A and B are shown apart, each in its own frame.
Chain A
Amino acid sequence: MLSFEPYGNPTYFALLGVALLPLMIGLLYGKRSRLYETLISVFFLLLTFGGPKWTQGVALIIYILYEVALTWGYAVYRRQKNSGPVFYLMVILAIIPLTIVKVTPAVDHGQASLIGFLGVSYLTFRAVQTMMETRDGTLKNYSLMTFLQFMLFFPTISSGPIDRYRRFEKDYRSVPSREKYLGMIQKGVRYIFVGFLYKFILAYYFGTMLMPKLEIMAMHSRGGFLNLSWPVLGYMYAYSADLFFDFAGYSLFAVGTSYIMGIETPMNFNQPWKSPNIKDFWNRWHITLSFWFRDFIYMRLVFWFMKHKVFKKPTTTANVTYIINMLIMGFWHGVTWYYITYGLFHGVALVVNDAWLRYKKKHRESIPHNGFTQAFAIFLTANMVCFSFLIFSGFLDKIWFTK
């Protein structure tokens, strides 16, 4: 049985092209065949989760049945009643599998959990968001079939972007006009080709060719202050470049493929390296994730704190919520000291950034604002981010704690 990493090699793209061709012709002539879409979805899911990885496939099926039962059950319940505790219980139940998957390696000597599969986080985000919008009442007509299609939409299943149920449904229920669809194909093809440049050339260079060399050099140069050396700095930049090009490349494939399928999956990156501050960075980096956190954790926490008047000053509320929000994001990456530190680092950075922006607003006349300060802000932000990625990479763990 063939088995592929999604978007991993030329054969995958060739199969993708062949599979998308009939779908494209259909859409051009104003037809969307649910049956055909389901068939190719199943085919590509089999390629990703079948063969030697069949245990993951089984985990995926059980997980999906579980989440469908929860969201559907809750949607039915919500039509009659709206009790807080029931809602909280359902959300907790929905994130239990993800929690087990994330905690298992930390308590079981790095052993991966049996119920895990590629993309479990992203599916959980989608399910929880569906539930929350059902509670809000913004999502009224939950449909089981649409939910299944939304969860199992193969272009984005393994690593996002994280779409929203209502947005997806709108695209999925309609057929774009020919003029619009041609534009979407054009964009889709361009995204996929930029993705090739990012993932197979740039990420390959930084990640596969440069990083291992810098790693060896850094490991050999241990012994100085905190075992740090110039190669560690090089590693920091190479890792950051690899992380960006690899993930942005992957996201471009996912978005490009979605476009060709007539679904306008939201973009995940928007030139993050030109952000002048850390807040702006999170509006440009892994956008669907940070917006998910903004809408479903940050905003809700702020609202809850304000409603219960926990803090006097609104700035305190914002600051505490920033830290909690980013800590949760850190924990979500995995239960290791470096992911958590990474979350904390960004939480603190957001707090400091807010304080600075307030200070700047007050003293507008005395603080210069020109091309140079703008360039400096971008430089500083990019370097702060790279430093946070060095923490995130776990490389410090390696140079400090391995023999």
Chain B
Amino acid sequence: MAKRLLRIFGPLILAAILVFAVLAMPVNVGFSHVSATKEKQAAVSLSPNVLRGKHIKEAALKDGYVPFFGSSEWSRIDPMHPSVLAQKYKRNYRPFLLGARGSQSLTQYFVMQNIQGELRNKKAVFVISPQWFVKDGTRKDAFGYYYSQLQTAEWLTHFRTDAIDRYAANRLLQMPAAKSDHFIYAALQRVADGKQLTNYQRFYLQTRKNMLTQEDQFFSGIDLPSRNLSRVNQQAKQLPTHYSYSALDQLGGRLGREATGDNPFRISDKFYKQGLKKEVKTGSLKGFQKNLSYTKSPEFADFQLCLDQFSRLNTNVLFIIPPVNSRWQKYTGLSETMLRQFDQKIHYQLQSQGFNNIVDLSDKGDVPYFTTDTIHLGWRGWLAVDQRVNPFLSKSQPKTHYAMNDKFYSKTWQQLSPDDLSQYEQNTK
């Protein structure tokens, strides 16, 4: 009987041991090479698997790709999109697009956790969407969608007991996604309380991290979406062989004119017909953003996490603040004053801590063909971005001097009315 049982279960047990051994192995074996084609594909794929993972990002960033943090704007691929321009004109950098619809500061903070080596003393681009800064900040389901146990486990193996990481742990604990692993949840509670992890927790996290790292290495490159790469190649064909700002500006104007048709907002007709036409006819959208505000939000503190991470790693970052299409803004009643105040508040948070590379396009909402839809950059907007991104990344930049301040985690700052900004500045000096 024993012999027969061994014949039945022997292979099964052996397989289980092998799988566990391979997954729990602390070193990477084979499969570590990421081909140039795969990197190219991953850089524009906007795939959540790439964002949640480590292996492909890490390999690409080592090969001259530059992290472009942001969200939904990256999917607006037209000839002036940063990825298209960099490819066509053989720039010495290639954007690695990080983030997609619904990804906000908190997601990006955790994304940074397992590419620290590739951010240290390097450059990055970061698009700040004003739309992130709504009353409740990041949506819990959107955060959950991009949540990565790998990144959290990695962060938990190198966190510090300071205000920054305590805030991050507390914030994460508010998210349902944090409960996906009971041990990680317990570890987060200790970090939030300012305690060190227990030995057992450290051992568990290390093992879990190894397993997730191996999984990421084996599987994250499978079935990468290739649609965006073919879109980039397609769009690049429309560009003139040699770079010339005036030619591109003209081309942007022409493409914009062709794509926008005669809809009232001067935005891409395709987008208009899909998402807005019907509502505009019934008038249900008129004035619907009247009471919307981007000035009081937990997102300000989440965003501070990203800034602190950049400061810790001495990353030189170019920030981009995109505009809202002004015809749309007037139609929906979105307050002009509020938008300006948001701009002031975010400028203060950036500049008072030494982040001075800011491309503020917030006043360009009325430039024709600057936005491709209601809130996303397109054609001339992308070209304006390129005007600053290209020199920033191509040329060497002066050393940065960051002066971080934990006051930006406070409830007071999150909820501060921009009217009281100068008062606040005085009080917190």
Residues in A lying within 8 Å of B, measured CB to CB: 28, 178, 182, 185-186, 189, 193, 209
Contacts and interface: CB of A to CB of B under 8 A. Distances in A.
A182 B9 CA distance: 11
A186 B1 contact: no
B142 interface: no
A178 B1 CA distance: 8
Contacts of A209: 223
Contacts of B7: 186
A189 B12 contact: yes
Nearest to B225: A213
A189 B1 contact: no
Nearest to A210: B223
B9 A189 contact: yes
Contacts of A182: 1, 4-5, 8
16 contacts: A28-B1, A178-B1, A182-B1, A182-B4, A182-B5, A182-B8, A185-B5, A185-B8, A186-B4, A186-B7, A186-B8, A189-B8, A189-B9, A189-B12, A193-B12, A209-B223
Contacts of B1: 28, 178, 182
Q: Which 7 A-B pairs have the closest CB atoms?
A: A186-B8, A182-B4, A189-B8, A185-B8, A209-B223, A189-B12, A178-B1
A189 B13 CA distance: 12
Contacts of B5: 182, 185
A191 B323 CA distance: 59
Given A178-B1, A182-B5, A189-B9, 11 more contacts: A182-B1, A182-B4, A182-B8, A185-B5, A186-B4, A186-B7, A186-B8, A189-B8, A189-B12, A193-B12, A209-B223
Contacts of A193: 12
A182 B4 CA distance: 8
Contacts of B12: 189, 193
Nearest to B7: A186
A287 B329 CA distance: 62
B84 to A, nearest CB: 23
Contacts, number: 16
A189 B6 CA distance: 13
Contacts of A185: 5, 8
Contacts of A186: 4, 7-8
Contacts of B8: 182, 185-186, 189
Interface of B: 1, 4-5, 7-9, 12, 223
A287 B8 CA distance: 28
B397 to A, nearest CB: 42
Most chain B beta carbons < 10 A, residue from A28, A178, A182, A209: A182
A193 B15 CA distance: 12
A220 to B, nearest CB: 12
Nearest to B222: A209
Nearest to A185: B8
Most chain B beta carbons < 10 A, residue from A178, A186, A209: A186
A178 B4 CA distance: 11
A209 B1 CA distance: 43
A39 B26 CA distance: 40
Nearest to A205: B223
Contacts of B9: 189
B89 to A, nearest CB: 32
Contacts of A28: 1
Nearest to A187: B8
Contacts of B4: 182, 186
B8 to A, nearest CB: 5
A358 to B, nearest CB: 48
A182 B223 CA distance: 41
A28 B8 CA distance: 14
A189 B12 CA distance: 9
Contacts of A178: 1
A185 B12 CA distance: 13
B368 to A, nearest CB: 30
A185 B7 CA distance: 11
A199 B319 CA distance: 47
A133 B7 CA distance: 42
A185 B5 CA distance: 9
A209 B222 CA distance: 11
A182 B12 CA distance: 16
A182 B7 CA distance: 11
A205 to B, nearest CB: 9
A28 B4 CA distance: 12
A189 B5 CA distance: 11
A227 B61 CA distance: 44
A156 B95 CA distance: 52
A4 to B, nearest CB: 15
Nearest to A29: B1
A189 B7 CA distance: 11
B221 to A, nearest CB: 14
A267 to B, nearest CB: 20
Contacts of B223: 209
A15 B211 CA distance: 21
Nearest to A192: B12
A399 to B, nearest CB: 18
Nearest to A193: B12
A115 B45 CA distance: 45
B424 to A, nearest CB: 45
A387 to B, nearest CB: 28
A283 to B, nearest CB: 31
Nearest to A188: B8
Nearest to B4: A182
Nearest to A28: B1
B160 to A, nearest CB: 34
A182 B3 CA distance: 11
Nearest to A186: B8
A28 B1 CA distance: 9
Contacts of A189: 8-9, 12
A186 B3 CA distance: 13
A118 B337 CA distance: 55
Most chain A beta carbons < 10 A, residue from B5, B7, B8, B223: B8
A189 B16 CA distance: 14
B129 to A, nearest CB: 26
A178 B5 CA distance: 11
B294 to A, nearest CB: 33
A193 B9 CA distance: 12
B23 to A, nearest CB: 12
A185 B1 CA distance: 12
B136 to A, nearest CB: 24
A209 B4 CA distance: 39
Nearest to A183: B4
A189 B4 CA distance: 13
B270 to A, nearest CB: 13
A193 B11 CA distance: 11
A361 to B, nearest CB: 47
A332 B101 CA distance: 41
A181 to B, nearest CB: 10
A204 B310 CA distance: 40
